[in-house]
Structure 1
């Protein structure tokens, strides 16, 4: 059993991450999709509509990838802060990422892989661990790729189900015309800068403890999930797909593909007023379905899925911005601040009322990390018999904007500061690993001395 101090140091250690994206991978995924379609045909099931023309991500956008385990856990924890699980509040779901604090091992001159504890956990919780760690690696890589593609913008990650629920009924529990379509992206990446149209990329990420062949199958499935949302013209919405292979031996590998297109832009129609992001939104009841191009006099029937048409661009930009704000306030432990950003169907009630023991968080902690004041929430637990404190939050001045519903002001200020956040992974005054993201959020952990 490692001393807690050693575990904390390892969490802050940058390590190389192997990424595979090539024309050979495209061929393997296309073959896996064809095989799946053949099996579905034998079972008399319809072939899935998949994103066409998958491509390898350009090398200049991938670059070299170095991450700390702590940054991966920060990315994962923030991504699931709005999760709707059981009767507990999604507010506290992000603490679940900390169960992987000893699952990853790596060093600056080598590649990240599963640790001995990660391999042991995989024997019992394969799907859970691979899926959640796969999410962390995929989203960290997605943000790097899109930041290199759009260097003067900020990338916000938004859970797709939460965003879509503002306009569509996804399940029988949701009021409105239900889509009945179970294929959906897992996240949206909104690439934005103040005063300009933003661009949206559907993302599907999976993970496995098996091999590359399993990743090919997962990417073939992912191509059906990202195809379920069209923003603008038919089949012109760019997307990202990931499958993280976490083998029992050897380095983990993120298999990644993308699709190009001219769509995804949320530009304001000339006859519609610009929306103020500070204003609240209400649930819409948009009829589900994606309209294919009209050929001839009779429009073809809609395909299953979700279509954001030009008259909805400003509305969807509004939804994404406020859902991202909800994710930040939830990550900081403030349920009251989160409620204002969500509609009823998006899950307001999950941030009010009763929560089971150990599922609730309270925004009542203040910490100075890397000389920046943060406000947020803390969690105390034992790491190899040693008591440790974890803290998640948002820079104090930015959080005050979010707390008061000032999304426009938050976005303006965080954009101005996008390149000024510290890159350090360890704070000696705090005494533990620290991860600060460009959106002003932080995750930190240290050993408790008393």
Structure 2
């Protein structure tokens, strides 16, 4: 059993991450989708509507991908901060990422893979581990691809269900005309720059402990999920799909494809109401369905899914910005600050009142990491019998804007600092691994003296 200090050191070591994206992969995924549709036909089910043309991601955008395990856990933690999947009722969900503190291993000249502890965990919790680590790797790669594609922009990740709930009823528990369609992307990536239109990419990220053939099936399924949201024109919304193959022996591989499209833009439009991101958002009740283009004098029936039509672009930009802000304040442990950013249907009630024992989170910690002052929340647990402390938070000056409801000011300042964040993965004064994101968030851990 490794001592905790060695585990923390390994968490900070960047490794190469194997990626796979090619025309051969496209062909395999198309074949997997065709096989699935045949099976559905035998069961008298309709074929799934998938992205019409998945493509390989260019080497320029995908190549030379390196990550420290701690960065993967940070990405996963940020992604699930609004998940409301466990007894934490949405306030401390992100601490669940720490269970993978010993699951990954690698080094400066090798590819990242499952550690001995990760392989042992896979024997008992295969589906959970592959799903959650698949999210971590997929979103980390999505951010890298989009940052290379749009070098002068920021990339914000928001949970799709949370964002969509501001306009549509997703389940029977939501008030409004229910969508009744279970296929939808898990996340949205918003690529933005102050004062300019932003662009949105639906993302689906899966994982498995099997083989490449399983990843082909997962990518075919992921294609149906991202196709369920159209932003603007019919079949013109760009998207990204990922499947992380977590082999029990050998390096892990992230299989990745994308769909191109001319839309996905959230511009202000000629009839802009000049929405200020600092203002509250109210729940809307849009009728679900994606409207295909007219064919002569005939208007086709709507397809299942969710359609952000041109008149709702500005509203959706508003929703995404405030949902992203909610994710940051939740990550810092501040339920009171989070409530202001979510509508009732988005789950604002989950950040007030009672929380189950050991699942609550309070924004009452302050730490200096790599020379920057952060505020947030902390969590103490045992790692191989040694007491360790984890800290998650947001740069103090940026957090004050978010706590005060000043999203416009936050976005302006975090954009100006996008290239100024330290790239070091270890803080000798803190004595532990540190991961900083361009959004101003940080995740750090150390052995308690």
1:421 matches 2:397: no
Residue aligning to 1:74 = 74
Q: Secondary structure at the match of 2:360?
A: coil
Q: Secondary structure at the match of 1:255?
A: strand
Residue aligning to 1:246 = 246
Residue aligning to 2:129 = 129
Structure 1, gaps ≥5 residues long: none
Residue aligning to 1:370 = 370
CA contact (8 A) 2:387 2:448 kept: yes
Aligned equivalents of 2:327, 2:359: Cα separation in 1: 16
Residue aligning to 1:155 = 155
Residue aligning to 2:407 = 407
**By how many angstroms is 1:85 displaced?**
2.2
Aligned equivalents of 1:105, 1:249: Cα separation in 2: 12
Aligned equivalents of 2:271, 2:66: Cα separation in 1: 46
What number of residue pairs does the alignment pair up?
Answer: 449
Query: 1:101-250 alignment to 2 at 5 Å?
Result: 101-250=101-250
Which portions of structure 1, spanning 4 or more consecutive aligned residues, are displaced by more than 6 angstroms? none
RMSD of equivalent CA atoms = 0.6
Residue aligning to 2:10 = 10
**By how many angstroms is 1:99 displaced?**
0.1
Q: Secondary structure at the match of 2:170?
A: coil
Q: Secondary structure at the match of 2:92?
A: helix
Aligned equivalents of 1:397, 1:370: Cα separation in 2: 15
CA contact (8 A) 2:86 2:93 kept: no
Aligned equivalents of 1:193, 1:45: Cα separation in 2: 43
**By how many angstroms is 1:84 displaced?**
1.7
Query: 1:207-356 alignment to 2 at 5 Å?
Result: 207-356=207-356
**By how many angstroms is 1:88 displaced?**
2.9
CA contact (8 A) 2:374 2:393 kept: yes
Distance change (3 Å), C-alpha of 1:86 and 1:6: closer
**By how many angstroms is 1:86 displaced?**
4.9
Aligned equivalents of 1:198, 1:274: Cα separation in 2: 15
**By how many angstroms is 1:379 displaced?**
0.1
Residue aligning to 1:436 = 436
Aligned equivalents of 2:358, 2:83: Cα separation in 1: 15
TM-score normalized by the length of structure 2: 1.00
**By how many angstroms is 1:117 displaced?**
0.5
Residues 302-347 of structure 1: per-residue CA shift (max 9 Å, x gap):
0000000110000000000000000000000000000000000000
Residues 30-51 of structure 1: per-residue CA shift (max 9 Å, x gap):
0000000000001100000000
Aligned equivalents of 1:358, 1:64: Cα separation in 2: 40
Residues 267-322 of structure 1: per-residue CA shift (max 9 Å, x gap):
11202222100000000000000000100212001000000011000000000000
**By how many angstroms is 1:434 displaced?**
0.1
Residues 165-224 of structure 1: per-residue CA shift (max 9 Å, x gap):
000000000000000000000000000000000000000000000000000000000000
265-274 vs 301-310, which deviates more?
Answer: 265-274
**By how many angstroms is 1:63 displaced?**
2.2
Aligned equivalents of 1:89, 1:325: Cα separation in 2: 18
Aligned equivalents of 1:436, 1:201: Cα separation in 2: 23
Aligned equivalents of 2:423, 2:208: Cα separation in 1: 30
Residue aligning to 1:99 = 99
**By how many angstroms is 1:72 displaced?**
0.2
Aligned equivalents of 2:274, 2:202: Cα separation in 1: 24
Structure 2, gaps ≥5 residues long: none
CA contact (8 A) 2:19 2:255 kept: yes
Q: Secondary structure at the match of 1:189?
A: strand
**By how many angstroms is 1:405 displaced?**
0.1
Aligned equivalents of 2:328, 2:150: Cα separation in 1: 22
TM-score normalized by the length of structure 1: 0.99
Residues 99-128 of structure 1: per-residue CA shift (max 9 Å, x gap):
000000101100000000000000110000
